[in-house]
A and B are shown apart, each in its own frame.
Chain A
Amino acid sequence: MAKPNIAVIWFPGNNCEAETLSAVKAAGMDGSILRWNTNEDISKYNGFVIPGGWAYEDRIRAGVIAAKDPVMKMIKEEAQKGKPVLGICNGAQVLVESGIIPGLKDKVEMALAPNINPIISGYYNAWVWIKNAQTKNRTAFTGSLEKNEVLHLPIAHGEGRFVTKDKGLIKQLIKNRQIIFQYCDNSGKVENKFPTNPNGSMLNIAAVSNIAGNVMAIMPHPERAIWQRQHPELEKADKLTNSIKLFSSMKESIRNKK
C-alpha cells in the first residue's frame, strides 16, 4: 500500500517545516514542503500540515495574513473533502484566524490571544503536559492515543491563549467534543493555574478540532518531541515517544478512508 502523501505548507516566516516533515516521515508517511504560492495542484496530497514559525512575521497578529492567503481557501476545500489538516503553533493560529477551527459558523469564532503568564510577558518557551481529553478516535490525529493519555511537549509562543467572546461557543465545543487536548500536570490532572496552564487558555485548551475531527489546531509542538533524544529529561536515544502517535494516527486515518 502506498504511503500517504502529506503536504507541509510553508508560509514566509515559518521555521518548523523541516522537523514537521521529519515527523511525518518518521510516522511512515511521505511528504513534501510546499511553498504557499506553489503552482502545484495540492489536491493530489492526502493531508496537510501547517507548521510553526512566524508566517508573515506575525504582522498585525499571529496567523492572520496567512489566513487570508489563497492557499488557505484550497486547504479549506480539501478539508471539506475529509482530508486531515493539522496546524501546529503558528499553523494553529492560521487555522483559527481563517475560521476553519472551530468551524461552526462561517466566521472567525475564536482567537489565540497574547499569553497571560505571571512570570513573563510575550513569548514563552517551556515543556508542558497535555492530555487527550476525548476518546481515541475522536479526531484523525488521536486514533492511537488513549483517552487521558498524557504527552510531554514543548511550547514556544507569545499568542497561544485560546479564547472566545462567545460563551455559547464554549458550551458547543464541550458538547461536540471539540476540545481535544488540555494542559495538565504530569499525572493528567487539569488545573487552571500556572504553570500547568502556561498561557491562560480557557478551560486549559491546548488543541481544538473541527466538528468532523479531520482538522485540528494544536499550540504545543509534537514534531519537536517525537524522539527521546529531543526530551530534556529522557535518555538520549533514537527511540520514538508517544508524541509520534499524532502523526501515526493521521496516517491510519488516511489509510482507513481509502
Chain B
Amino acid sequence: MATAELFVGLKVPDNVALTAFHTLHSMGYNSLKNLERQDYYKFEFSGDKKAFEKKISQVDILINANKHKFSFSSEDNGKNSGRISILVQNLGTDSRLLRTLKERLGFKNLKSAERGVLWTMHFDGHANSEDTAVEIAKGLLMNENYQTFKVLSRQNRL
C-alpha cells in the first residue's frame, strides 16, 4: 500500500492565516514572525505513486489551479530552522471525501483519505519554539473538544 501527502495553499495572501497571525500577536506571541496555512490530505492507495499523484493533483475539488499551489510531502527536519508545522484534524471518521473520490471521480484504487489543516509557524529564534507552537495550537488553532493535532517533523515546501 502506498501513501501520498498532499499540501494545498493559496497563491494569493491567505486572509485566514493573516487574521490568525494578528490575533496571535494580540495574544502576546510576538516571537511568531509568520504563519502559513495549507489544506492537508493523506491518501492510501494501491498502484503507482507517481501516477496517483498526477491524477489527484488534477482533482479540482481539492486544487483549483487558478488560485491554489500544491506539493507532495518531502522529508525535511524543519524543527531546526525555527519552523514548526502543526497539523489540525477533526476527531472521528469522515468518509465523504473517500466516497466522493472513489464513487464519483474514479479513484477505485483508493483505500483511505484523510484531511486537515496544516499550520506552519516561523519563529524568531529556536528556543522553545515547539512548545510555543503547541501552546498556540491549543490556544487558537484548534478546539480540543472535537479536534486533535500533531507536530509534523516533515516540512513541505511549495
Nearest-Cβ distance from residue A61 to partner chain B, whole angstroms: 7
State whether A164 and B145 are in contact (beta carbons under 8 Å apart), knowing that A56-B19, A59-B19, A114-B90 are contacts in the complex: yes
A61 engages B143 (CB within 8 Å): yes
Contacts of A166 in B (CB 8 A): 145
Looking at the complex, which of A104-112, A128-136, A182-190, A237-245 is the stretch in contact with chain B? A104-112
A64–B15 contact, CB under 8 A? no
B2 at the interface (CB under 8 A from A): no
Size band of the A side of the interface? 20 to 34
Q: In whole angstroms, how far apart are the Cα atoms of A64 and B88 in the complex?
A: 15
A-B contact count (CB 8 A): 47
**A contacts with B: majority SS:** loop
For A164, what are the chain B residues with a Cβ–Cβ distance below 8 Å? Answer: 145
Question: Interface of chain B, helix or strand or loop or mixed?
Answer: helix
Task: Give the CA-CA distance A56 to B16 in the complex, in Å.
Answer: 9
Give CA–CA (A109, B143) in the complex, Å.
9
The residue that A163 contacts in the complex, of B15, B140, B146, with Cβ under 8 A, is B146
Q: How far is the CA of A97 from the CA of B20 in the complex (A)?
A: 15
The answer to whether B140 and A68 have CB atoms under 8 Å apart is yes
Task: Specify which chain B residues have a CB less than 8 angstroms from the CB of A111 in the assembled complex.
Answer: 143, 145-147
> Does B158 belong to the interface (CB within 8 Å)?
no
Contact of A68 among B26, B96, B143, B144 (CB under 8 A): B26
Write out the residue numbers on chain B whose beta carbons fall within 8 Å of the beta carbon of A121: 96
Residues of B within 8 A of A97 (CB): 143
The answer to the question of B105 belonging to the interface, with a C-beta cut-off of 8 Å to chain A, is no
Q: How far is the CA of A121 from the CA of B97 in the complex (A)?
A: 11
* A113 lies within 8 A of chain B by Cβ: yes
The answer to whether B145 touches A165, judged by C-beta atoms less than 8 angstroms apart, is yes
Considering only residues 80-110 of chain A, those with a C-beta below 8 Å from chain B are 97, 108-110
* Complex Cα gap A68–B22 (Å): 11
Interface residues of A in 20-59 (CB under 8 A from B): 56-57, 59
**CB <8 Å contact, A64 and B145:** no
Chain B 135-147: CB-based contact to A (< 8 A → 1; otherwise 0): 0000011011111
* A-B pairs with beta carbons under 8 Å apart, 5 shown: A57-B16, A59-B16, A59-B19, A165-B146, A166-B145
- 7 nearest CB pairs, A to B: A111-B145, A113-B146, A111-B143, A59-B16, A59-B19, A111-B146, A165-B145
List residues of B whose CB falls within 8 A of some A CB.
Answer: 15-16, 19-20, 23, 26-27, 90, 96, 140-141, 143-147
